[in-house]
Amino acid sequence: MGTIRFFIDGREITVTEGETILEAASKNGIYIPHVCHHPDLKPAGMCRVCVVEADGLLVPACRAPAAAGMVVKTGGNLVNKMQRLAVELLATNHHDDCLACGKNNACKLQEVAQYVGVDKQRLTRFQAQELRPVDDSNPFISRDYNKCILCGICVRACNEITCIEAIDYAFRGYAAKISTLSDKPLQDSKCTSCGECMVRCPVGALLPKGGVQAAYEVKTVCPYCGCGCGVYLSVREGKIVGVRGDRESKVNEGELCVKGRFGYSFVNHAERLTAPLIKRNGRFEEASWDEALDLVANKFREIQAEYGPESLGGLSSARVTNEDNYLFQKLLRSLGSNSIDHCARL
């Protein structure tokens, strides 16, 4: 594919053919407000917040491909009016409770409203009034219909990324809503609670239950399986309060499954062993790592001396990383044994 040149607000831009106006703009650091577009997903062109004027026509930048020589204006009377109306229309159906919302300061609606500049008075007469019930059935994710702006990102995430297809639009027109099959609670659907939809929801309609802001983050690898998904742990007061996928990680590019994303509470569990135990007089007693490792090493030596190196065997775990498993078999081979197995085969 060749490259083409076109203009955004007078600036000449070079892009690969087929790229949309929005992609081209963001690559060149030009902001175009948008809500229903997410770079991981196919463009939908539904919210019409991203409209720009391309060769005199209003087009959604997230969907319209840039064309050679095209003259794009990201502002002007027409564009401003359309963007403002689009944002105001979304806002009329959004229960704004920003200070108490888990998405405050990270919300796309706030972002575009700020950029576009809305007049709250214009449509306040028609603000959606009655509150709809929140779907709290899922243990990890809460879905607040009062904040949903029907951008469809969650639906596309579930279809395109996870291929679970647990949710879709239901009903028509103003009554349209995101729903599971037969409009059942999320928990009773085929949703796997992976949260891929949740992390992409531009507003506070999909939020992790009990989520709090982190004090700092720690980059690590998910301990649940050998895939080795990159994660960032959110830490606050020395405890893990959340996990997010590492978009830079080549393994998962930011995606996670339900265990990796939500299954961290065991870390702080009261019954979790945090020190090695040595059985003395029929009872397990806490010991230091040096003590424990010395004991194991001595026992290995004794066994090897008496029965030969092949008499040792090792069992590893599906719950550690590939690298740990690799090191484990290396260790056993260096001890002279080839008897290595894995708990998943037991």
Partner 1 sequence: MSAWNSRTEKVDSPTELAEIAARCRAAFARQKSRFVVCAGPACLAMDALGVLEEFRELIARRGLHLDVELLFEGAETQAAVVGSGCHGFCEKGPLVRVEPQGVLYTKVKVADVVEILEAALDHGKIVERLLYHNPDGSTCLTEREVPFYSGQQKIALKRCGLIDPEDIREYIAHGGYLALAKVLRELTPAQVIDTIQRSGLRGRGGAGFPTGDKWAACREVRGEPKYVICNGDEGDPGAFMDRSILEADPHSVIEGMIIAGYAMGAKQGILYVRAEYPLAVARVHKALQQARHWQLLGENIMGCGFNFDLEVFQGAGAFVCGEETALIASLEGKRGWPRPKPPYPSQEGLWGKPTCINNVKTLATVAEIITHGADWFRDIGTSNSPGTAVFALAGQIKNSGLIEVPMGITLREIVYAIGGGVPNNKAFKAIQTGGPSGGCLPEALLDLEVDFGSLRKAGAMMGSGGMIVLDETTCMVDIARYFLEFTVHESCGQCNPCRNGIYQMLHILNAITAGKGQPADLALLEEMGQMIVAGSICGLGKTAPNPVLTALRYFRPEYEAHIHEQACPALKCKELIAYWINPEKCVACGLCRKACPVGAISGERKVAHVINQSICTKCGICLETCPGKFSAISKVTGRQRTELLARELRGFPHNLATDGL
The site for partner 1 (CB under 8 A) is made up of: 45-49, 51, 58, 60, 63, 78, 81-82, 85-86, 89-90, 92-93, 122-123, 125-126, 149-150, 152, 168-169, 171-176
Neighbouring C-alpha atoms within 13 Å toward the C-beta of 95: 15
Is residue 201 at the binding interface for ligand SF4, with CB under 6 A as the rule?
A: yes
- Whether 150 and 177 have beta carbons less than 8 Å apart is answered as yes
Please report how close the Cβ of residue 61 comes to ligand FES at its closest, in angstroms: 6
> How far is 219 from 311, CA to CA, in rounded Å?
39
Report the partner that residue 162 touches, choosing among partner 1, ligand FES, ligand SF4, none (CB closer than 5 to 8 A by kind). Answer: ligand SF4
Site for ligand FES in 61-80 (CB under 6 A): 62
Residue 37's binding partner among partner 1, ligand SF4, ligand FES, none (Cβ under 5 to 8 angstroms by kind) is ligand FES
Pairwise CA distance, residues 53 & 104, whole Å? 31
Q: Does 148 engage in binding with ligand SF4 (CB under 6 A)?
A: yes
Alpha-carbon gap, residue 167 to 183, rounded angstroms:
9
Q: What are phi and psi of 186, to 5 degrees?
A: -55, -40
Can you give the length of the chain in residues? 346
Contact call for residue 231 and ligand FES (CB under 6 A):
no
Q: How many residues bind ligand FES (CB under 6 A)?
A: 12
Nearer to ligand SF4, 73 or 177 (CB): 177
* Residue 21 neighbours by CB under 8 Å, 6+ apart: 8, 32, 52, 54, 59, 61, 62, 64, 65, 66, 70, 72
How far is residue 44's CA from residue 167's CA, in Å, rounded to a whole number?
16
- Scanning 42-50, 132-140, 199-207, 244-252 for contacts with ligand FES by CB under 6 A, the matching segment is 42-50
Based on the shown chain and the rule CB under 6 A, indicate whether residue 49 belongs to the binding site for ligand FES: yes
Residues in contact with ligand FES by the rule CB under 6 A: 34-37, 45-50, 60, 62
